[in-house]
């Protein structure tokens, strides 16, 4: 009789699929947040943290590194795209694109720190659990 798999063992998705999923979900939430609220706000922050945890839970152990470096890159790229499409969603009128991206990163640094920390913590626990097996 085999043991039931735990949450820490369940991840089996390829790293590049999780990268795509992370970008797609984060960009979708940023899009919805700017469409409905006019700016990237707290809804984005909560969703970003959840996406970071989700991809860390779904990725297979061989691709931990790929997901481990993902959160800052996702936020940077998504904010660059938002800055190009709707700069007022992240910055002030007259700000350059670079300034809008930096402003967005600064305003959402808390979500980035929490999402990144939780992502790394989940990967660390999963690595310990898989290593013990």
Q: What is the pLDDT of residues 55-106, one digit of tens each?
A: 999 999 999 999 999 999 999 999 999 999 999 999 888 899 999 999 999 9
Residue 16 DSSP SS3: helix
Element (H, E) at 104: helix 97-107
Residue 48 and residue 115 in contact, taking contact as beta carbons nearer than 8 Å: yes
* Whole-number Å distance between alpha carbons of 111 and 97: 21
**Residue 73: CA count within 13 A, CB half-sphere:** 10
Mean of the per-residue pLDDT values of the chain: 91
pTM above 0.75, yes or no: yes
């Amino acid at each position: 009789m085999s043991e039931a798999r735990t949450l820490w063992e369940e991840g089996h998705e390829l790293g590049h699929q999780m990268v795509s999923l992370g970008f797609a979900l984060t960009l979708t939430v940023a899009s919805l947040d700017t469409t409905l609220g006019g700016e990237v706000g707290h809804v984005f922050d909560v969703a970003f943290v959840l996406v970071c945890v989700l991809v860390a839970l779904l990725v297979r152990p061989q691709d931990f590194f790929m997901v481990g470096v993902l959160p800052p890159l996702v936020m940077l790229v998504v904010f660059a795209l938002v800055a190009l499409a709707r700069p007022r969603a992240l910055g002030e009128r007259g700000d350059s694109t670079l300034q809008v991206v930096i402003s967005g990163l600064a305003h959402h640094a808390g979500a980035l720190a929490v999402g990144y920390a939780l992502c790394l913590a989940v990967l660390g626990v999963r690595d310990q659990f898989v290593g013990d097996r």
